[in-house]
A and B are shown apart, each in its own frame.
Chain A
């Protein structure tokens, strides 16, 4: 589903590569934690999948497509198959929960009838039933992140990328967020989650890829956050 082959990314005006000869394979339906200190290349990894950045060398395949050969014109179609969740939620403050989720479908031209059918389903999936008409500032951090996940998942993407989704949320609430991510993963969606949260990684017992200075230093199925003992 995601295939990195010897990928190196050096940002302009920087000597040290953000990613240094990284090769990794993520299969369909997998749940992968991406761990490592700040600046280790986790975000670059996610941005490369979205083709927001281009690698300096190496090949990236996402959902069977060679990103180097994907024309700019087709990048939006790639992104429709990838959902994204961020630490800062990125909700639209002037739209309510329902409208925020529906926005993702409106802007890719989905018919209104379809939107009316699927948006309530997804709101229920993330556990926000009955709160569809709340505004984002009336919701807790955890609830806002659920809205963001609903928006990321509403178009049934093949891949869900989560960049520290629990970074702004207390540990107790984070468990709820992880349950939703797990639920999404069980529908067959591949999930890649970058995180610093050791407790979460340890509790989930999923595949862990650890980056350090742009290199993969560990790739372990059913791993934990710290070093393997």
Chain B
């Protein structure tokens, strides 16, 4: 195998089809960048999920004396009801921990969560605070049984599930990720077709050479490698372009996004490197595949 011969052939091929080569490089770059952004959103989402789902809990608020809620019927929860309810909640499968929050703790938490000078902060008294159960689940997605067990029980004022609240936010991120993936898939298909076309043009341009190579007994690898290498090199250059775009996306998009969450769940460089590695691998693989399939059809050996 003579490398310089193969590379001079590759160079000639790329130069002859310059416009097609550029089209391939751009399509691969944008397509792979979209794929990478999809992967990065994925990483970002799962990281934020880990962070937030660790903190989510179900709150079962209990009635107090002045509760205006209909479910309380104006009566405060009794000690027996509280005890029964705790036992009931603990019996639900999937419950990791049940913490009882008394009025004093609730008041303290309430005061901490508000800034000084807030009207509510001064107005609220310890007696106004509801007692509640804070329930941690082993799997935050499996909240239904707990909610069912608590709702409608005597002494229960209301049940709030934090998972449902942040769930909407994650659903939106999921949609974003799927959108990026769909665009990426469309572009990857476009890139594959373009590569196929470029290789076909190349094969047609050099049909004299390949005809003679066949005749004098050049091996299939020798005949096909220059064409495949053309695809691979175009794919690699496109991949580098995609990598640059992904780094820019990390710096300007994801780091900016993380700012809104006060530094919680910032996408690390390792995730970017992983996305770049995957997109490069997929890009080169698609280029090789598209070249081979085209050569099978247009370059009988």
A104 adjacent to B2 (CB under 8 Å) = no
The residue on B at minimum CB distance from A73 is B220
Known contacts A108-B222, A109-B2, A109-B222; A79 and B208 CB within 8 A of each other: no
Contacting residue for A77 out of B2, B217, B223, CB 8 A: B217
Contact-residue size bin, chain B (C-beta under 8 Å from the other chain): 10 to 19
B5 adjacent to A106 (CB under 8 Å) = yes
Q: Does A76 contact B (CB under 8 A)?
A: yes
Contacting residue for B5 out of A84, A104, A107, CB 8 A: A107
Shortest CB distance A120–B (Å) = 18
Binary B-proximity of A71-82 (CB < 8 A = 1, otherwise 0): 001001111111
Query: How far does the alpha carbon of A51 sit from the alpha carbon of B201 in the complex, in Å?
Result: 27
Binary A-proximity of B215-247 (CB < 8 A = 1, otherwise 0): 111111011000000000000000000000000
Contacting residue for A90 out of B1, B211, B219, B222, CB 8 A: B211
Cβ < 8 Å to B, chain A residues 28-76: 50, 73, 76
Q: Does B214 contact A (CB under 8 A)?
A: yes
Contacting residue for A78 out of B1, B2, B5, B217, CB 8 A: B217
A92 adjacent to B209 (CB under 8 Å) = yes
Q: Does A151 contact B (CB under 8 A)?
A: yes
The residue on A at minimum CB distance from B5 is A106
Contacting residue for A104 out of B216, B219, B223, CB 8 A: B216
Contacting residue for B218 out of A50, A73, A76, CB 8 A: A76
Binary B-proximity of A138-176 (CB < 8 A = 1, otherwise 0): 000000000000010001000000000000000000000
Contacting residue for A151 out of B211, B214, B216, B217, CB 8 A: B216
Which residues of B have CB within 8 Å of A77?
217
Query: How far does the alpha carbon of A76 sit from the alpha carbon of B218 in the complex, in Å?
Result: 6
The residue on A at minimum CB distance from B12 is A94
B208 adjacent to A76 (CB under 8 Å) = no
Binary B-proximity of A93-107 (CB < 8 A = 1, otherwise 0): 100000000011011
Query: How far does the alpha carbon of A73 sit from the alpha carbon of B222 in the complex, in Å?
Result: 12
Shortest CB distance B146–A (Å) = 66
Q: Does B106 contact A (CB under 8 A)?
A: no
Contacting residue for A79 out of B2, B211, B216, CB 8 A: B216
Query: How far does the alpha carbon of A155 sit from the alpha carbon of B222 in the complex, in Å?
Result: 17
User: 15 pairs across A/B with beta carbons < 8 Å?
Assistant: A50-B215, A76-B219, A77-B217, A79-B215, A79-B216, A90-B212, A92-B208, A103-B212, A104-B212, A104-B216, A107-B218, A107-B222, A109-B1, A109-B222, A151-B212
Residues of B within 8 A of A (CB): 1-2, 5, 208-209, 211-220, 222-223
Given A73-B220, A81-B217, list of 19 further CB < 8 A pairs? A50-B215, A76-B217, A76-B220, A77-B217, A78-B217, A79-B214, A80-B216, A90-B208, A90-B215, A104-B216, A106-B5, A107-B212, A107-B222, A108-B222, A109-B222, A112-B2, A151-B212, A151-B216, A155-B217
Those 9 A-B pairs whose CB atoms lie nearest each other, nearest first: A80-B217, A79-B217, A107-B218, A104-B216, A76-B217, A107-B213, A76-B219, A84-B215, A106-B5
